[in-house]
Amino acid sequence: MNREDRPRWRIDDVLARTDLAALLDELTERAAHTLRGRRWHCPMPDHDDQHPSVTINTDHAGHERWHCWSGGDTHRGDAVDLVVATQRVPQSEAVNWLANRAGM
């Protein structure tokens, strides 16, 4: 990875300033409200998600993560993974995209 390709931001800082629910609302179909909470349609381009199957949880490090319960093992991640999947950009560009979106 070239010096220019490396993110200028610490991923932990970018994730801390990213509201994953708002990002999912922006990049996927808006959330459906169910008795068990909010759910979104899977953002993965290869998954024709007929019923909202994505939920959000917080991992042991305190980062919000999304998970598609009807998709495969690759249908999950953090905000960076969401941007990589939906915008089809490399991780370094996704981090910069999120940092810019957060006003960093």
Per-residue pLDDT tens over the stretch 34-75: 667 889 999 988 888 888 889 999 999 888 999 999 877 889
The answer on pLDDT for 30 being more than 90 is: no
From CA 65, how far away is CA 77, in angstroms rounded?
Answer: 5
Q: What is the mean pLDDT of the chain?
A: 87
65 has which bridge partners? 57
pTM listed for this prediction: 0.84
Is there a contact between 47 and 71 (Cβ–Cβ < 8 Å)?
A: yes
Q: Which residue has the tokens 């922006």?
A: 26
pLDDT average, residue stretch 88-100? 95
From CA 49, how far away is CA 101, in angstroms rounded?
Answer: 27
Q: What is the pLDDT of residue 74?
A: 82
Q: Which residue has the higher pLDDT, 39 or 5?
A: 39
The answer on pLDDT for 7 being more than 70 is: no
Give 41's DSSP letter: -
- Residue 27 burial by Cβ neighbours in a 10 Å radius (0-12, 13-18, 19+): middle
From CA 43, how far away is CA 41, in angstroms rounded?
Answer: 6
Question: Please, which pLDDT band fits residue 1 given cuts at 50, 70 and 90?
Answer: very low
